[in-house]
Amino acid sequence: MIRSIASRRWLFTVSSLTFAAGLISCQPQVNNAPTGDAAINETAPVRLTGAGASFPNPLYSRWFSTFNQQNPNVQISYQSIGSGAGVKQYLAKTVDFGATDAPLTQEEREQYRSRYNGTPVQVPMTGGAVVFAYNLGGNVENLKLSREAYCGIVDGTVKSWNDPLITQENPGVNLPNAPITFVYRSDGSGTTFIFTKHIDEACPNWQRGSGKSIAWLTGSGAKGNEGITALVRQTPGAIGYVEYTYARENNLNMASLENKSGQYIEPSPEAAARALEGQPIPQDFALQVPDPSAAQAYPIVGLTYLLLYDNYQDAEKAAALRNFVNWALTNGDEAARELGYLPLTDEVAERVQATVNQQLAVR
């Protein structure tokens, strides 16, 4: 049931492996007591280390801190180093878990199988939007970018803020005769993966493909969503792609983008959720919607994943990770909504929990 805007949450649902349309009412957050798995010794500290995507780092930081408060014997440290580096550390088993916004490739899955004689466990935890954040001072707060305009910014053919492709969609806006500085990720990035999957689909002149690392045609590079945010904020005339929460929390202006149906959509969790409605989800959860067709959908949206092992030598670590996933998908929705991410629905969360509970073995 869709409820009033004051009470609904922004979600995607799954039924028979298909995401269904709907914004479903939220479960109350009720568990404030320590949660435990029978395999965990409540008196002995369990230390977990993870590394990877910067996209979900604000939410993961909140979740890990709150989980530790409720489970003092479990300490989770996480390095926001980008999806590319996170996948490398995961495959090398230098961490207890990885994190990525780009689903594992077939080559990466084969590396895992050949090294560990098993199957990687890849599960989504949340989703969100990638936005164009820009710095034109306080004079331009509601910028609209057509597909032709933002494709041109990315490939370097639109060089100035008063280019006709920008001004024609922003009548009455005093756009400066100033150069555009496009800011991109210089590290291996799942945010880059989500962004370039869209650019590759939406921009007919784009010839660089998609992936975690791209040979960009123009602009300046920065590491992490944190680096993009900082460089855009300190560079007049800059525009860069960044996860929605980073732009919102740092008071950066975000452009409304023309979507596939020709509508200009302001970035928001509501509009991002519409991009995922009705989308089929594969067995490995690797959903990709590079250019959603829904009329009111924001066009650049993706999921972010935890990477877990199917064989842990330490039973307490395996139990702690199972506990964390179960806790986050039961008690973590409020934090996700507050920060601007997309919580999973009960159906999707239950499927993720079942996968983790069944596949995290101890050997």
Mean pLDDT score, 27-41? 41
pLDDT at 138 over 80: no
pLDDT at 8: 31
CA 164 to chain CA mean position, Å: 32
What pLDDT, in 10s, does the model give residues 310-327?
Answer: 999 999 999 999 999 999
pLDDT at 214 over 70: yes
Mean pLDDT score, 23-46? 47
pLDDT band at 43; cut points 50, 70, 90? low
Kindly give the residue spans of alpha helices, DSSP state H, lying in 203-302: 224-234, 244-249, 269-274
pTM for the whole thing?
0.89
Q: In 3D, which of 167, 256, 179 has the Cα closest to residue 220?
A: 179
Mean pLDDT lowest among 153-157, 175-179, 271-275, 346-350: 346-350
* CA–CA separation, 319 and 361 (whole Å): 9
* CA–CA separation, 197 and 199 (whole Å): 6
pLDDT at 15 over 60: no
Mean pLDDT score, 178-201? 98
Burial class of residue 141, CB neighbours in 10 A (0-12, 13-18, 19+): exposed
What pLDDT, in 10s, does the model give residues 156-172?
Answer: 999 999 999 999 999 99
